[in-house]
Structure 1
Amino acid sequence: MTLDDILNTHLGRRALLKSSLAGGGAALAGTLFGGWIPNVAWGADATAKYETPVVETASGKLRGVIQQGVHTFRGVPYGASTAGSNRFMAPRKPEPWTGVRDAFQNGPTAPQLGGPPNPLILGHRAPTFESEDCLVLNVFTPGVTGKRPVMLWLHGGGFAGGAGSAHSFDGNYLARSGDVVVVSVNHRLNVFGYLYLGGVGSEKYRDSGNAGMLDIVAALQWTHDNIARFGGDPSNVTVFGQSGGGAKVSTLLGMPSTKGLIHKAIIESGSALKGVSRENANKTAERLLAKLNLQANQVDELQKLPMEKLLAVIDNRGQGTAGGGPFVLAPVVDGHNLPRDPWDPTAPEISADVPVIIGSVNTEGTFFMPPDSPQFAPLYSLDEAGLKTQLTQRYGDQADKLIELYQKEAPGANPSKLFFMATAFPGDAIKQAERKFAQAKAPAYMYLFTWETPVEGGRRHSPHTIELPFVFDNPQEQPDEVGNGPDLQPLADRVSGVWTAFARTGSPNTSLTPKWPAYNTDQRATMIINDDWKVVNDPRHEVRLIIESVKGRAAS
């Protein structure tokens, strides 16, 4: 039974519209969207009041919902089902439909392994209805006429989990405040998106190691072909993503098939310089086949297995080394979809003319280390000796000098915060910006986000993902991550305003902030983002030199 079958069986069209507006019906897909609306009589006139005009796409006509002045279209197919004979294959165009399709509800989430909820990001949880018919996207637009910048969002979760349709990534606020069109995408993940069978199987599987990335390319192509009908400008598309989403952006910029589809890019805490080699990807495929007791000439059997079995075979949680460790399932340097490592040793020529924003947050690792976890609690109560022990393990005889430098920068910080700052040094982000600058074709702009969340007593400081409520201009929707308070919305106004300004013009400079110069290897201008914004040239200069030296010795 497809999602359409479920919706049509259990909810009438008018009930779907009402539930989509109210948020309650979205619980069918495992999440809550939108603000509550007055309890009105849901007759034909009331229904029409909240419906968008009909929009015609290449596959058929769509009708969405008007939420708080934003035209919202959910669960829009940009590709066909990836089940059965389409599994591991490059995406195919969606099946056309007749009549008008109601785009009121989120589409399915890509199959994935669950995990324990992180209390910081409860709103990032993927809707629970999973299906291989997951090539769907959501569109948020202030209106279906006009020619607005388009911002296509790629969710985090590595290459293993997550969903663009999660509550925290609802694009209503950003679309409305920035007068942009926001597109959020679901695509294949983990074994379904990145299992490279081109080495152990036949030529027909040559795309399998990048199927998830090719899904995103298909979403970009859909955007190019259709977004003008949603009030967007197909010649001005910004891809932005955080964590795994930033890594997807990094990878897209090295894929020939994205040429002309991406005009600007924002990489948040996701500077991926390299892909997976074919050698390592082949080892993963061989290991997976062995766990399923299949031979290389039986690769086609993988298309017939239930999706639950494929997920189970890659599930090594709790097994430690006995389970063989995690499978390496990420974009593969396959020689054609991804011809080379995207950012190593140089920036990709394919996207040389694309300006980028690159950045990170001040204590990335605290996101992954719950303060009350027995495993990580000791890191939140380090003394001076404990700090030295931890940094010596990572940086050898340079630990004392690093401690001195961080204490000078943050004299009031306890040893635990200094540890989290030191271990979050954004070396790959800096390399990415350096290589973009060396290309001398389009600018890179560097930031460091240092605002600290008050939740959990402030112990997590500036964790991974902390900027997202401000990027999406919806901090009031995410108190679990940023708390509550009058300082939140002014910061959200600035961050979202700068992100949308960059999407509009290719420059992050607005009247909201100090002048933000492009990055170069002389000044290394970096915007420090907090309640007060300031540009610092080559922040942590001596730290950078030490860490580069230590890593250089380790690589030689």
Structure 2
Amino acid sequence: MTVDSAPEVQVASGRLRGRMDQGVAAFLGIPYAAPPFGARRLRPPEPPARWEGERDAAEYGPTCPKDEGDPLFPEVVIPGEECLNLNVWTPDPGASGLPVLVWIHGGMFMKGSGSVAGYRGTSFARDGIVCVTINYRLGAEGFLYLADGTANLGLLDQIAALEWVQGNIAAFGGDPGRVTVAGQSAGAMSVVTLMAMPRARGLFRQAVIQSGAAAQTLTGETAAHVASRLAESLGVAPTREALSEVPVERLTRAASALLKEFQTAADPSKWDVLPFAPVVDGDLLPDHPLDALRKGAGGGVRLLAGWNRDDTRIGLVPTGMIDIVDERILSVMVGANGGPDGTVERYRAARPGASTGDLLAAVTTDCLMRVPVIRVAEARVEAGEADTWMYRFDHESPRFAGRLGAAHAVELPYVFDLLDEESSRALIGDEPPQVVADTAHGTWVRFVTDGDPGWPRYDLADRSTALIDDGITVVDDPDGAEREVWADRR
């Protein structure tokens, strides 16, 4: 296969003709499940149909119905019903035994797709890894819960994609026994949930979670209330049959409106709840993921877990909210998130001169991102799982006069080593340092390839954590005093 040739592979459903992408072979828009519309709408995924002849896999396929994007996270919208598709980049379809990375995108379970330009797998393929990115159903289409025996359709989509990888990735040079599943934000929440699900057992050997864990998992009661509220807003009965008759665009808009209602609720206790998310339904997901991990779920899966030092500044700095936070708002938010008496004083003592907005960013980052990730690691230690590594991404973005910091998603262009991607400029600036990409991307490559990122495993004695910037600095229990504030926070 020359650089100018169109690569071809044979998968279970038929033959694919891809294209070359920066020196690696790319096969895009491959259906892993049948279109989830018509009689299949709001139902578990079904196998894709076979095709005759050669299928063109040179362009991304349709995206799943979703919420709108924003300037920092531009959305890709591709119309069409065959939206349960995935993309594969490989250094050599003729190879064998290559490690595989399956990427699950984030976006609050409301946005995103596997065809976002910043998720191109070219750099991973360049470094010897078969990279797969997937679509899955979002919002009400993927996470509506009606207590009728069908739940977590978006997770079932992810499992169907992983099953497709098991059956087909060898055609691209990948080893189905060397699969790492990774995700960021809602994608990371998905990964932790998959680790806890009996149905996903054996589909991957390793996992990476970035800025997301298990804290957003919904109870059946909460999820059923969301469904009832959604149906009420649409003027239909809260049944699968009635809601499946609602036009897709209308259901998507109603789900988006419900998300905004939660985000702007007068009751601040709702501010950290996503209305559409994995549901503990007692069947597909029998237990809360943390409880399942403590019982040994995910046993034998090596885990690389991390968060960004300033994760929640992504919602505070671009909006200007960080400058209107006063002592009252700070106190209310700390209380709503379960911070005990003395929390603000503890954080203020560690940050002399910090504004109230800066303190809120530090508190909410720990409460909503850092501590949930640590809880996953602790649950695994409790179950006797030793193969967990922890990191924190510390590189600061120069955007918004340098105030954005190491905010949510700032790490992604560095992890994917796609610093030339124009759509990332609004998030990381015009001159992102390659050395940070060498460090972050290199860390993931080592883990996916060798199963060890290169620093000590996480335990409860030392809590070794790698701080990632233009190099790696390993410290024990960074900001441990603040971590202890949240001892009672799940």
Residue type of the alignment partner of 2:193: T
Output the CA distance in 1 between the equivalents of 2:468 and 2:231.
47
Correspondence for 1:502: 447
- Return closer, same or farther for 1:362/1:48 CA change in 2, 3 Å cut-off: closer
What corresponds to 1:10 in structure 2?
A: none
- Say if 1:348 and 1:240 are closer, same or farther in 2 by CA, change over 3 A: farther
Instruction: Give, in whole Å, the separation in 1 of the partners of 2:293 and 2:435.
Output: 38
Residue of 483, 492, 507 corresponding to 2:429:
483
Amino acid at match of 1:457: A
Note if 1:548 corresponds to 2:487.
Answer: yes
Corresponding residue SS for 1:501: helix
State how far apart, in whole Å, the 2-side matches of 1:392 and 1:468 are: 28
Q: Where does 1:242-321 land on structure 2 (aligned, <5 Å)?
A: 242-273=184-215, 275-295=217-237, 299-316=240-257
Gaps of at least 5 residues in structure 2 are: none
Give 2:120's aligned amino acid.
Answer: D
State the distance in 2 between where 1:483 and 1:150 align: 30
Q: CA RMSD in A?
A: 2.7
Q: Look up the SS of the partner of 2:209 in the other structure.
A: strand
Separation in 1, partners of 2:146, 2:23? 47
Q: TM-score, normalised by structure 2?
A: 0.90
CA distance in 2, matches of 1:267, 1:456: 27
Shift of 1:71: 0.1
The corresponding residue for 1:172 is 122
Residue 337 of structure 1 aligns with which residue? 284
Distance 1:285 1:422, change over 3 A: closer
CA distance in 2, matches of 1:161, 1:79: 20
Query: How many angstroms apart in 2 are the aligned matches of 1:391 and 1:213?
Result: 31
Q: TM-score, normalised by structure 1?
A: 0.79
User: Does structure 2 conserve the Cα–Cα contact (< 8 Å) formed by 1:267 and 1:357?
Assistant: yes
Q: Does 1:191 align with 2:191?
A: no
CA drift at 1:352: 1.0
Residue 22 of structure 2 aligns with an amino acid whose one-letter code is Q
The equivalent position to 1:69 in structure 2, one of 23, 38, 55, is 23
Alpha-carbon distance in 2 for matches of 1:49, 1:352? 41
Per-residue deviation at 1:175?
A: 1.6
CA change 1:327–1:182 in 2 (3 A) is closer
Alpha-carbon offset, residue 350 of structure 1: 3.2
The structural deviation recorded for 1:366 is 1.1
* Conserved 8 A contact 1:273-1:341: no
Letter in 2 for 1:434: E
Distance in 2 of aligned mates of 1:414 and 1:321: 25
SS in 1 for 2:218: coil
Q: Which moved more, 1:436-445 or 1:326-335?
A: 326-335
CA distance in 1, matches of 2:486, 2:3: 59
Shift of 1:375: 4.0
Is the alpha carbon distance of 1:284 and 1:216 closer, same or farther for their aligned partners in structure 2, counting shifts above 3 Å?
same
What's the offset of the Cα at 1:476?
2.5
Distance 2:80 2:154 in 1: 14
Q: Which residue of 1 aligns with 2:312?
A: 365
Q: For residues 289 and 469 of structure 2, what CA distance do their matches in structure 1 show?
A: 31
Alignment of 1:71-470 (within 5 A): 71-115=25-69, 117-119=70-72, 121=73, 125-146=74-95, 147-176=97-126, 178-199=127-148, 206-207=149-150, 209-273=151-215, 275-295=217-237, 299-316=240-257, 328-344=275-291, 346-347=293-294, 349-371=296-318, 373=319, 375-379=321-325, 394-407=339-352, 416-425=357-366, 426-470=370-414
What are the superposed Cα offsets for residues 244-267 of structure 1, whole Å, 9 maximum, x if unpaired? Answer: 111111111111111111110000
- Residues 29 and 62 of structure 2 are in contact (CA less than 8 Å); yes or no, is this contact kept in structure 1? yes
- With over 3 angstroms needed to count, the CA separation of the structure-2 counterparts of 1:353 and 1:386, relative to structure 1, is same
Q: Give the secondary structure class of the aligned counterpart of 1:497.
A: helix
Identity over the aligned pairs, expressed in percent? 34
Higher helix share: 1
Q: Take 1:172 and 1:456, find their aligned partners in 2: how far apart are those partners?
A: 29
SS in 1 for 2:362: helix
CA distance in 1, matches of 2:46, 2:75: 24
Distance 1:489-1:212 versus aligned 2 partners, 3 A rule: same
Q: Secondary structure at the match of 1:71?
A: strand
Q: Which amino acid aligns with 1:303?
A: S
Q: For 1:133, what is the secondary structure of its paired residue?
A: coil
The aligned counterpart of 2:14 is 60
Q: Higher Cα Rg: structure 1 or 2?
A: 1
**Structure 2 SS opposite 1:55:** strand
Q: Residues of 2 paired with 1:162 and 1:70: CA distance?
A: 24
- How many angstroms apart in 1 are the aligned matches of 2:330 and 2:82? 51
Q: How far, CA to CA, are the matches of 1:304 and 1:150 in structure 2?
A: 39
Change (3 A) 1:311 1:362: same
Contact persistence 1:181–1:232 (CA under 8 A): yes
